Amino acid sequence: MTDTDVLVIGGGGTGVGVARDLAMRGIEITLCERDGLGGGTSGRSHGLLHSGARYAESDPEGARECIPESRTLKRIAGECIRDSGGYFLQVAGDDPAYFDEKRRACEEVGIDFEVLSGEDAREAVPALSPDVERVMEVPDGLIYPSRLVAATARSAQEHGAHVHTHAPVSDLHVENGHITGATVSGIDSNTGKRIDAEYVVNATGAWAGRLDERLAIEMEPAKGVMVAVPFDGLDRVLNRCREPDDGDIVISHPEQAILGTTSVPVDDPEEYDQEDWEVEQVIEECAAMLPGLEDREPERVYWGVRPLYAPDEAEREQRGISRGFFLLDHKARDDLGGICSIVGGKLTTHRLMAEAVADHVAERLGVEAACHTAEETLPGADDPALLDRYVGEFDARGPADEDVLGV
């Protein structure tokens, strides 16, 4: 007799997505997050809801994942996202051939866009630089990660899942080459509670390789900085239309612009240098699109660590690629049954990642129920105050969107 059908370790976008999907299929779920929900990378991401345009020419497959996922989130996630639209900007000195390549690639993968002159774009967004020469308008948007993670967890709870925050998982228990559960702290004020499960999902993101040395997972985490400055009247996501580089995205919140980012490999996702040059470079580069940024004092600076999977990174450049996701079946890889890991990906595609995991787990458990997560609206979706209450309940307030939250 087990305590739960499935133990999900990690309460970022991926873990709560897995919990929601499996709970909706009638499977009993216990999710344990060592921090508040989203306390790892999800609550510290940039918050771009990718239409796929960023990856259209470099990774059409990744772009094709983003297209339906961003549409789904626009449909089900209400005030957890904002359907702002976005601009890809060709600034004086940028290679015009890159713009034309992106335009062709967006056509090929099926992303709706419109090309505007610099003058027309400046009419819509007067703060744009006079050096902006051409613009592609694309259906990008933005995510408020704290709300998205909290609402997804709330949905999982409403479908019967048990969600524990401040509950770090330490030991995995193995019997006869099969995981039978784990030791979790922080539940019922016990220092170490044993939770027995039929199956375990390791959704610990950048920390996936550190959960247990018997799981051979090579992660290659990469840090990135985001800089929030006071700015209103933007109301669009801005992407620089050039080979991806530092400081080429601006996300627009109602009273702030969130500038990002960098990509620097780190040895340890817990401890890494937070360097001034990253902040300075991001402001300088973003100011080429929006000159008014130059003299703004940052109100908030935060770093996040991408959960990159090393074998994938070895084949790709650090940016300009889609962050593909990987479902690792440890029975096949490490001869350890009853557990899988999910690594890589993007917040935009967390629901799709969760669906892949849930299909895998349901099959192992002999459950035939299908995925319905794209059809059901998230609880509180149209009520920002209620969403923010969920954020408070799950201690999910992260730096990515703290300026818009009422908690």
Nearer to ligand FAD, 2 or 183 (CB): 183
Using CB under 6 A as the binding rule, whether residue 304 contacts ligand FAD is answered as yes
Query: Minimum CB separation from ligand FAD for residue 263, in Å?
Result: 7
DSSP string, 233-246: S--SEEEESSS--T
Using CB under 6 A as the binding rule, whether residue 77 contacts ligand FAD is answered as no
Q: Please give the C-alpha separations between residue 307 and each of 120, 310, 332, in angstroms, as whole numbers.
A: 39, 9, 22
Using CB under 6 A as the binding rule, whether residue 12 contacts ligand FAD is answered as yes
Using CB under 6 A as the binding rule, whether residue 180 contacts ligand FAD is answered as no
Q: Quick one: which of 4, 6, 23, 45 contacts ligand FAD (CB under 6 A)?
A: 45
Q: Quick one: which of 73, 132, 148, 203 contacts ligand FAD (CB under 6 A)?
A: 203
**What residues numbered 248-277 form the site for ligand FAD, per CB under 6 A?**
261
Q: Quick one: which of 305, 328, 357, 362 contacts ligand FAD (CB under 6 A)?
A: 305
Using CB under 6 A as the binding rule, whether residue 52 contacts ligand FAD is answered as no
Query: Minimum CB separation from ligand FAD for residue 210, in Å?
Result: 7
Q: Quick one: which of 6, 47, 138, 199 contacts ligand FAD (CB under 6 A)?
A: 47
Interacting stretch for ligand FAD, rule CB under 6 A, among 43-51, 151-159, 364-372, 378-386?
43-51
Q: Which residue is closest to ligand FAD by CB?
A: 12
Report how far residue 47's alpha carbon sits from residue 147's, in angstroms, rounded to the nearest whole number: 11
Q: Quick one: which of 34, 162, 330, 397 contacts ligand FAD (CB under 6 A)?
A: 34
Using CB under 6 A as the binding rule, whether residue 205 contacts ligand FAD is answered as yes
DSSP string, 245-283: -TT-EEEE-SSEEEEE---EE-S-SSS----HHHHHHHH
Nearer to ligand FAD, 135 or 201 (CB): 201
Nearer to ligand FAD, 11 or 338 (CB): 11
Interacting stretch for ligand FAD, rule CB under 6 A, among 3-11, 93-101, 114-122, 364-372?
3-11
Nearer to ligand FAD, 305 or 339 (CB): 305
Using CB under 6 A as the binding rule, whether residue 48 contacts ligand FAD is answered as yes
Listed in sequence order, the residues at least 6 apart from 21 whose beta carbon sits closer than 8 Å to its beta carbon are 351, 354, 355, 357, 358, 371, 373
Q: Does the N-terminal peptide bond of residue 349 adopt cis geometry, omega within 30 degrees of 0?
A: no
Using CB under 6 A as the binding rule, whether residue 169 contacts ligand FAD is answered as yes
Using CB under 6 A as the binding rule, whether residue 10 contacts ligand FAD is answered as yes
Query: Minimum CB separation from ligand FAD for residue 117, in Å?
Result: 27
Q: Please give the C-alpha separations between residue 308 and each of 147, 203, 291, 321, 354, in angstroms, as whole numbers.
A: 24, 13, 33, 12, 17
Cβ(355)–Cβ(335) below 8 Å:
no
Q: Please give the C-alpha separations between residue 60 and each of 73, 105, 225, 251, 297, in angstroms, as whole numbers.
A: 20, 8, 26, 23, 38
**What residues numbered 329-358 form the site for ligand FAD, per CB under 6 A?**
345-348
HSE-CB at 138 with a 13 A cutoff on CA atoms is 35
Q: The tokens of 110 are what?
A: 């099926």
Left, alpha or beta for 193 (phi > 0: left; psi -120 to 50: alpha)?
A: beta
Query: Minimum CB separation from ligand FAD for residue 375, in Å?
Result: 21
Interacting stretch for ligand FAD, rule CB under 6 A, among 11-19, 133-141, 289-297, 310-318?
11-19
Cβ(48)–Cβ(140) below 8 Å:
yes
Nearest CA to 400 out of 46, 77, 50, 140 is that of 46
Using CB under 6 A as the binding rule, whether residue 41 contacts ligand FAD is answered as yes
Using CB under 6 A as the binding rule, whether residue 390 contacts ligand FAD is answered as no
Please provide residue 375's backbone torsions phi and psi, each rounded to the nearest 5 degrees.
-100, -25
Using CB under 6 A as the binding rule, whether residue 198 contacts ligand FAD is answered as no
| Torsion sign (Cα): 261, 262, 265, 271 | negative
Using CB under 6 A as the binding rule, whether residue 30 contacts ligand FAD is answered as no
Q: The tokens of 181 are what?
A: 């559960």
Q: The tokens of 172 are what?
A: 């995995």
Q: How many residues belong to the site for ligand FAD (CB under 6 A)? A: 38
- Binding footprint of ligand FAD on the chain (CB under 6 A): 9-15, 32-35, 39-42, 45-48, 50, 168-169, 203-207, 211, 224, 261, 304-307, 345-348
